[in-house]
Chains A and B, each alone.
Chain A
Amino acid sequence: MTNMIEIKNLKKSFKVITKEPGLRGYINAIIRPKHKIVNAVNGISMTIKKGELVAFIGPNGAGKSTTLKMLSGILYPDSGTIKIDGLNPQKDRIKLAYRMGTIFGQKPQLWYHLPAIDTFYLFSKIYDMDPEIYKKRLEYLIEKFDIKEFMDQPVRKLSLGQRMRCEFVLALLHKPQILFLDEPTIGLDIVVKKNIREIIKKINKEEKVTILLTSHDVGDIEDVANRVVIINRGIIVYNGTFSNLRKEYLNKKKIKIISETPVVFNNHSATKIINQSKYSLDLEVDLTKTSLKEIIDIIMKNNKIEDISIEDPEIEEIIEDIYNGKEMKITRCG
C-alpha cells in the first residue's frame, strides 16, 4: 500500500505573551511584553498508509490539533516536511482541499440558523460538484446517516448527536480521500459517542477513506482505530497497534463502588485499593492477573451495591506508564 501521509521531523512553536497577575502585571504586559516560546510540536515523524484509520491521542495541549492543522494546510510548520497524497499542504492548499474533509469538533461548519440541507447545497457548489453526482451522493449519505427526518429543520433545533451526523454528511459530501477529525466526539454522551464511532469505522471500511482522528480520551478510540499514536508535549511517545497498547499499558481498570451497607472487601492479589471509606471503595484491577468479572463477582457477592462505575485509566497515567516502561527497558539493557 502506498503512503497517504508522510511527516518528517515536524516542528511548530508559538510565541505567547505571559502576563503576571494583578494590575501591575497587566501594565507590564503592555509596556514590556514578555514572550514565552511554547514548542507545541517538537519533532514528529510518522507515515500513514492509504485507507488506514489512525487515532492520535494525548492530553490537552499535547500538540494533536496543531499537528492536524498543519496537515490540513491551515498552519505553517516552523520546520520539517509534510506530504499528503504527494502534495505539500501549505503550497497546494486549495488543490488538497478538494481531496480532504475535516471536522473540528468544537467548530461546526453547518449554518446555525438554516436547515442542514442548505449547507449541503452550498458545499456542493464550493466543491464544484456536478448537480447529478451531488444528488446521488447526498441520497446515499442521507440513508447512511439516517438524517432524512431532521435535515430540513434549522440546525439550532437539532440535538447534538443529530447535528454531528449532519456534520459528517457535510464533510463526506465531496467524497474526500482523507478525513481529519479533531475531537469528533467531544461533549457527546455515551450513546451518541458510540454511534459516531460506528460511523467512523463504517466510513473507513466502505469508502476506503484514510482517517486521522484526535482525542484526549483513550476509551474513545477503543474498537475504532487499528493504530494509535500517542503524543505528549509535542513528541510521539507511542506508535503501534491498539491491541498492543491494551496488552502493554491498558491492562488496568478502575472500579468505583458505592454501597448501601458498609463495604466488605478483602484485598485481592490483583487489586490495589486507591481509596476506601465506610460506604465507598475505589479499586484498580490488574487485568493481566485476573478478569474484571472475577473481581466484580466478589464485590457483588459481599455488598449491596448502590452505584458502580468501571473506567479506563486516564491518558496521563498511560503516558506515565509508557515513560516508566521505557526507563525500565533502558536500565535492563544497561
Chain B
Amino acid sequence: MWLSKYLAIAKINFKNEFTYFWDFLFDSVFIAIIIFIYSQLWAILFSTGHYSDISGYTLAMLVWYLVMTESIIDFISYVVDNIGDDIKQGNIANYLNKPYNYIIYIYTIHIVMGFVSLILTFLLGSIVAAVTVGGFSFNFLNIPFILITIFLAMSMNLLIMTFLGLFAFWMEDVSAVNFIYQKFVFIIGGTLIPLEFFPEWLAKISSFLPFSYLAYYPAKLFINFNLHQFLDVVAVQILWCIVFIFLILFIYKKAIKKVSINGG
C-alpha cells in the first residue's frame, strides 16, 4: 500500500517534468557543448603522439568517461536549494501534514528527475562523443550492472544533498553549502578528470570520501568493466547510503521539533 503512494508521487512528478522539457534539453545541450570542448582538449594532448594512453585511458575512453560522469551528476544540483526553499518559505507545512514521509517524498521526486536527465544528457553526450572520437569496445551485457551502480550513485548523491538541505532548519541560507559540495563532487569526485590523473596522496584521500563513488567509479566501470571492482564499488556505495540514511534520520528528528513556518 505504501509503495503505491510513492509510485503515484513519482508518476505525477514525471508528468510535471515534461512541462520543463525544454529546460532539461537546454541543460543537456550545454553539457554536450562542454563535452565537445573537452574532447578537443584531450585530442590535442593525444595528438602530440607521445602517448597512446594516459594512465590506461585512451582518447575515446576519456571522452566517454566524461559523458557518463556528466550524465550522472548533472541532474540534481538544486536538491539542496529545493529543500532549503521548502523549509524557509514554509511549503513544508503542506508536506508535514500528509500521511507520507517527507524524506521519501523528496527522494522519489528527485530520483525520477535524475533518470530523465540521465537519459537526455547521455543521448546528447553520446552523439558528441561518437562524432568526435568514435566508439569504444563496450559489452552490452554489462548494462544491468552499470545501471545498478548508477542508481546507487544517484541515491547516495540525493541522500547527501537531503542531509545538507535539512541544515536550512538552522541556517539562513544553504545555497553556500550546496556550492561547496558541488565543487567537491566536481574536483575530488573526479567528474572532470579521472582520479588516476591526480597526485597519489589526493587520490588516496579521495578514496576515503564519498565523492568518488558518485560519478568516478560508475563511469570507470562503464568504460572498463570489471566484476570484482563492481562488487567493491557497490558495497561501498550501499555502505555510504546507510551512513547517510542514519545521519538524515538523526538530524530530521531534531529538525522537526525546530520547525518554524515563515510567512504566516
Contacts and interface: CB of A to CB of B under 8 A. Distances in A.
Given A107-B91, A118-B15, A76 B257 contact: yes
**Which of B8, B91, B264 gathers most chain A CB within 10 Å?**
B264
A61 B15 CA distance: 38
Nearest to A118: B12
Secondary structure dominating the interface of A: mixed
A65 B262 CA distance: 10
Contacts of B264: 65, 104, 106, 182-183
A274 interface: no
Interface string A71-105: 01111100000000000000001100110101010
A125 interface: yes
Given A118-B15, A125-B5, A126-B8, A97 B97 contact: yes
Contacts of B9: 122, 125-126
B12 A111 contact: yes
A66 B263 CA distance: 11
A259 interface: no
Given A75-B259, A107-B94, A126-B8, A98 B16 contact: no
Contacts, number: 79
A72 B97 contact: yes
B93 interface: yes
A128 interface: yes
Interface in B89-133: 90-94, 96-100
B88 to A, nearest CB: 13
B75 to A, nearest CB: 19
Contacts of B99: 94, 97-98, 126-128
Interface string B1-13: 1001101110010
Contact of B261 (A69, A100, A118, A128): A69
Contacts of A94: 99
Range of interface residues on chain B?
20 to 34
Nearest to A64: B264
B224 interface: no
A187 B91 CA distance: 18
Given A74-B259, A75-B261, A76-B259, A100 B97 contact: yes
Contacts of A65: 261, 264
B260 interface: yes
Contacts of B90: 107
Contact of B260 (A14, A119, A154): A14
B5 A126 contact: yes
Nearest to A96: B97
A114 interface: yes
A119 B12 contact: yes
Given A74-B96, A93-B96, A128 B1 contact: yes
A121 interface: yes
B19 interface: yes
B181 to A, nearest CB: 22
Nearest to B89: A107
Nearest to B90: A107
Contacts of A100: 97
Given A107-B94, A122-B8, A125-B8, A74 B15 contact: no
A126 B5 CA distance: 5
A73 B259 contact: no
A39 interface: no
Nearest to A14: B260
A305 B257 CA distance: 57
A122 B5 CA distance: 8
Contacts of B19: 113-114, 154
A128 B4 CA distance: 9
A14 B259 CA distance: 10
A74 B12 contact: no
Interface in B11-49: 12, 15-16, 19-20
Given A14-B260, A65-B264, A111-B16, A74 B8 contact: no
A41 B90 CA distance: 18
8 contacts: A72-B93, A73-B97, A97-B98, A106-B263, A107-B94, A113-B19, A114-B15, A183-B264
Interface of A: 14, 65-66, 69, 72-76, 93-94, 97-98, 100, 102, 104, 106-107, 109, 111, 113-114, 118-119, 121-122, 125-128, 154, 182-183
3 closest Cβ pairs, A-B complex: A125-B8, A113-B19, A97-B99
